[in-house]
Amino acid sequence: MNTQDAIRIAEFETVEARNRRGWTPEEIRHMQAPVGTTAEFHQTWQALMQQLERVLSLAHQRHPRRGPPQFARPALTISARA
């Protein structure tokens, strides 16, 4: 077990103990907002989506799709005539 594992286990045990005894008003006041509800999260998300759009656009310009995929034709067979 490394240090990160020990920290995670300690955090988990702390949360479990808190859930058993209940939350104090002080803990509720200092609780962090759930993921995805902050303005910083939305700004970061929008920036990532814009970067993704640019990458996809550049990739499409470099290698545009040329219609549906082309499949290999079956090999020609020569039949013996009797």
- For residue range 21-64, list pLDDT tens digits in order: 887 888 778 877 777 778 888 999 999 999 999 999 988 888 77
* Tokens of residue 65, six digits: 């799709």
**Structural domain that includes position 12:** 1-25
- pLDDT confidence of residue 52: 93
User: Residue 54's pLDDT is what?
Assistant: 93
Per the listing, tokens 């859930």 go with: 19
Largest CA distance in the chain: 97
Residues 6+ apart with CB under 8 A from 18: 27
pLDDT for position 43: 92
Domains identified in the chain, total number: 1
Q: Which pTM value belongs to this model?
A: 0.40
Q: What is the pLDDT of residue 55?
A: 92
Task: For residue 56, tell me if it sits in a domain.
Answer: no
Residue 12: inside a domain: yes
Q: How far is CA 47 from CA 56, 59, 60, in A?
A: 14, 18, 20
Query: What is the predicted pLDDT for the residue at 82?
Result: 53
Within a domain: 80: no
